[in-house]
Amino acid sequence: MKLPWMSRTDRRAWKSARTIEDLGELMARWLEGTIQSRPGYAARYGPEDETTALVPSLAALCRAGAITTGSQPGLTGPGANGGWWTQRAWVDLVVTDRALLDRLVAIVTAGGMLVRVHDHHRGAARSTDDPIVATTCDGKPTMAVGSRMRGVDLALEWEGLHRSLVAQVTHGWQVSVVAPQAGSAGNWPLWDLLDEVSGLRDPAEDDWGTFDVPDPGECRLCGAPIYHPGPYCSSACRTADEGDPADDVVPR
């Protein structure tokens, strides 16, 4: 049985943090499993199983100064309730450095991602952008991201940090980045773009190109050869693969 409180060692580690660099390192370590607990999350629990594949990208963002506070991969499929669920890939971040914020927004916007930024500096104008629906069940919205959090809620999320660090993270920019497409089709561009922001990926070293102009016989959405047995990148990809026997095509 897991104890419902943070260990003394973890409490001391979070309380000792003074800078965004300190906070980013601790958040990265929690994502990687070397710290059991983090502020604003159930004590002695790590990330959800669906986050496992995202940990390298999220940890790199944290160490670069863009502190991740929530995320999900893009998925589509049946849920436990029997409904059809769709998820857009997304990530919520706290950024306190203006140059990093500008770089982040420029890269993900150029890559076609949806972005919401809320400036919590004292006296800053409030954003009027609506939240973005991130999850649906049978076409009905079940979760949205990108809404503005109240200052009191931001402080509660970081309870246990030194007050000077709480002041830094609660008076920065709260950023949400969301893939425009639901399902796995949104994973590739979102996480690659975020890896570029963190420095985990150098786009100059990429040699795979893009799927903007597919070759004959390739899915326009994910680049996979048409008439293959799956998995499909989305329901649209599956639909595109139906209705043609293609007897002379060997499945992969």
Query: Under a CB-based contact definition with an 8 Å cutoff, are residues 56 and 45 in contact?
Result: no
| HEC string for 200-248 | CCCHHHCCCCCCCCCCCCECCCCCCECCCCCCCCCHHHHHHCCCCCCCC
pLDDT tens, 60-108? 999 999 999 999 999 999 998 999 999 999 999 999 999 999 999 999 9
User: By the 8 A CB rule, do 196 and 203 touch?
Assistant: yes
The mean pLDDT value for 206-216 works out to 50
| 3-7, 20-24, 193-197, 204-208: segment of lowest average pLDDT | 204-208
pLDDT score of 205: 77
Q: Is the pLDDT of residue 118 over 70?
A: yes
Would the pLDDT of 179 be above 50? yes
- Domain ranges, ordered by start, for the chain: 8-205, 213-252
- In this predicted structure, what is the pLDDT of residue 134? 97
Instruction: Identify the bridge partners of residue 116 per DSSP, sorted by sequence position.
Output: 176
Whole-number Å distance between alpha carbons of 30 and 33: 5
Question: Measured in Å, how far apart are the chain's first and last C-alpha atoms?
Answer: 45
Rg of the chain (C-alpha set): 20
- What does the alpha-carbon distance between residue 21 and residue 18 come to, in Å, rounded to a whole number? 8
The conformation of residue 111, written as its DSSP 8-state character, comes to T
Instruction: Give the pLDDT confidence score for residue 204 in this predicted structure.
Output: 79
Task: Tell me if the pTM is above 0.85.
Answer: no
Number of Cβ within a 10 Å radius of residue 73: 21
Look at residue 240 in the predicted model and tell me its pLDDT: 58
Q: Which residues contact 53 (CB under 8 A, 6 or more apart)?
A: 73
